[in-house]
Amino acid sequence: MPSFIDRVVLHAAGGDGGHGCTSIRREKYKPLAGPDGGDGGHGGDVVLVVDPRVTTLLTYHRSPHRSAGNGAPGMGGWRRGADGESLVLPVPEGTVVKDADGHVVADLVGAGTSVVVAEGGTGGRGNFSLASSRRRAPGFHLLGEPGQIRDVVLELKTVADVALIGYPSAGKSSLIAALSAARPRIADYPFTTLVPNLGVVEAGETRYTIADVPGLIPGASRGKGLGLEFLRHIERCAVIVHVVDCATLEPGRDPLSDLDTIETELAAYAARLDQGEDDPVPHGRVPLMERPRVVVLNKIDVPEAAELADFVRSDVASRGLPVFEVSAVARTGLRALSFALAELVARARAGDDTASSSSVAGAEAERPVIRPAAVGRRDKKPLATVRLIRHPREGEIYQVRGDKPERWVRQTDFANDEAVGYLADRLAAGGVEDELVAAGAHAGAPVLIGSVDGGVLFTWEPAMTTGIELLGARGTDARMEDRHRRTNAERRAHYHELMDAKEAARQELRDEAAEGIWTDAAGWSDEDGA
């Protein structure tokens, strides 16, 4: 099992909200003293928090399914259910959170930065909270909403000031080991380094971090050799250092061609960032190809490498790039390199401070205008949209979509007639009934509230829109029962139907007797039977 994981898929589930309680207070000499059912508790959230002590996503690779606590149901005596415990998950600094479609949800940089990836469900209201001047003793409660279930992708991007890039076995691990106290694995074969290594360098009064990125090969920007997995770790670095191997014995390789190859891969990867959602520019960072770059000609302790470094130094300098000749083994040229990198890092930090201060000054120049949010439906916008769709099984139906109507449906206990009547009142007050009429719906039309897969399908009855004063016993709703009182004319017609049916039966018996099918038993005698 690897010890360093920089990409995992986290299956997060927020806690479910607790159901409300239906309870009637009982006192001496007061059998029905009013409702006292408490509300249900809210479900816990799943929260990601940056923890400097965490350096890998290995924990979530081994156990990707995480869920928060559920809210407790309400109780009688106005007792509210306890809220579910939120689940706080520590992640390394530099973690990028994406949804299932690849859109960036949060970029977690800085200790203590947090984001909620799965919200807990809202607790249901008890009958005490549902009581009103006309509904004095509700016989129902609202159900708690289920918690949000969400799959998010966690990608770790190294947070460092300087990034060392180059071909495999170019001496990047040896260089970071010589500059800092980091002790990466070093071997004489390619791709020894498979995970980024971080080190801290102190040069004078400047202290900065340096990252050893695994080696790149041609085609890395297209994913060859796990190039995309490696290139991701240089997006946050302020300075890029090209480590060039001057002592390589591979045919077709030289310092200039190696530099051109790595620069081409960086440009291709930067183009991918500009076209995607991970572009660092909107986050206030300098574009990847505009950041300062330094070329390090490594392994000059080898005589042939030293001669080659002297030969290509002027060509590299002509491109406007600072050049340093170093040897990680002999520890030659490291001091000059460390101070040069410290100066570039200080400039980058000063630029960030200037940009942040200018943005703050601009914000102070433009005074914010605070406008209170509208309460209710002052903007006259409908709470839901109604459209005629074709259901795969039910045919043409009217679909109602909206956050509030769908939430009301989730909170309704359809086994309780009074709760269903309360839902009808909420839909009528919210203007959903008017939208159905405007869409052409009629009595008895099938209506779907929510999505095609998880919505609730019912038959629309406009008569259900009003009538709270017709409520009967607790838990019942007269609008849900078929209590049609017959008129005198209906009773008279029903009586005549019964009399006509009775006379038709008698006439059938007379016809059968006339045909001799049967005789009257009253005229029989014992002699006839013998």
Tell me the per-residue pLDDT of 313-347, one tens digit each, with 9 for 90 and over.
Answer: 888 888 888 888 888 778 888 888 888 888 888 88
Q: Which pLDDT score is estimated for 483?
A: 57
Domain pair 162-359 / 385-480, same fold: no
Q: Higher pLDDT residue, 71 or 192?
A: 71
Q: Is the pLDDT of residue 159 over 80?
A: no
Mean of all residue pLDDT scores within the chain: 78
| 340-360 pLDDT per residue, tens | 888 888 888 787 655 444 444
Please identify, in words, the CATH class of the domain defined by 1-156: mainly beta
74 pLDDT more than 80: yes
Which residues sit opposite 89 in a β-bridge?
48
Q: What is the mean pLDDT of residues 128-135?
A: 86
Q: What angle do CA 13, 16, 22 make, to 5 degrees?
A: 175
Q: Considering the domain 385-480 in this protein, what is its CATH number?
A: 3.30.300.350
pLDDT of amino acid 500: 94
pLDDT tens digits along 244-301: 888 776 766 777 877 888 788 777 777 766 555 444 444 456 777 778 888 888 888 8
Question: Is pLDDT larger for residue 238 or for residue 41?
Answer: 41
Task: Write the burial class of residue 57 (CB in 10 Å: 0-12 exposed, 13-18 middle, 19+ buried).
Answer: buried
pLDDT of amino acid 495: 92
Question: What does the alpha-carbon distance between residue 487 and residue 420 come to, in Å, rounded to a whole number?
Answer: 29
User: How far is the C-alpha of 450 from the C-alpha of 294, rounded, in Å?
Assistant: 57
Q: Give residue 126's identity as a one-letter amino acid code.
A: G
Q: 476: burial class by Cβ within 10 Å (0-12, 13-18, 19+)?
A: middle
The continuous run of DSSP H or E covering 12 comes out as strand 7-13
* Cβ 115 vs Cβ 107: under 8 Å: no
User: What pLDDT, on the 0 to 100 scale, is given for residue 362?
Assistant: 45
Q: What pLDDT shows up at residue 2?
A: 46
Picking from 234, 247, 224, the residue whose alpha carbon sits closest to that of residue 165 is 234
pLDDT for residue 365: 47
Q: Does pLDDT of 126 surpass 90?
A: yes
Q: What distance, in Å, lies between the first and last C-alpha atoms of the chain?
A: 105
Tokens 């090969």: give the residue.
Answer: 217
pLDDT value of residue 364: 44
> What mean pLDDT do residues 116-130 have?
93
Burial of 20 from C-beta contacts in 10 A (0-12 / 13-18 / 19+) = buried
The reported pLDDT for the residue numbered 282 is: 41
Confidence of residue 425 (pLDDT cuts 50, 70, 90): confident
Question: Domains of the chain: which residue ranges?
Answer: 1-156, 162-359, 385-480, 488-521
pLDDT tens digit sequence for 474-495: 667 666 666 566 788 888 999 9
pLDDT-wise least confident of 95-99, 195-199, 240-244, 441-445: 195-199
Count the alpha carbons within 13 Å of 511 in the hemisphere toward its beta carbon.
6
Q: Does domain 162-359 have CATH number 3.40.50.300?
A: yes
Q: Buried (b) or exposed (e) across 105-137, using 16+ Cβ within 10 A?
A: bbbbeeeeeebbbbbbbbbbbbbbbbbeeebeb
Share of the chain above pLDDT 90, in %: 21
- On the 0-12 / 13-18 / 19+ scale of CB atoms within 10 A, 198 is middle
| Interior angle at CA 319, CA 218 and CA 163, nearest 5 | 55
Determine the pLDDT at residue 201: 79
CA distances for 99 relative to 9, 117, 236, 273, 277, angstroms: 10, 9, 21, 18, 12
pLDDT greater than 50 at residue 114: yes
Q: What is the pLDDT of residue 437?
A: 87
Choice between 362 and 314, residue whose per-residue pLDDT is larger: 314
What 3-state DSSP class applies to 206? Answer: strand
Could you tell me the pTM of the whole model?
0.69
What is d(CA 394, CA 384) in angstroms, rounded to the nearest whole number?
A: 22
pLDDT at 297: 85
Please report which confidence band the pLDDT of residue 373 belongs to, taking 50, 70 and 90 as the band edges.
low
Q: Given a cut of 60, is residue 413 above it in pLDDT?
A: yes
> Across the chain, how many H-helices and E-strands are there?
12, 18
Q: Where are the beta strands (DSSP E) in 267-411?
A: 293-298, 323-325, 385-391, 395-401
Query: What angle separates helix 303-317 from helix 255-275, to the nearest 10 degrees?
Result: 50
* Structure tokens given for 8: 């995992």
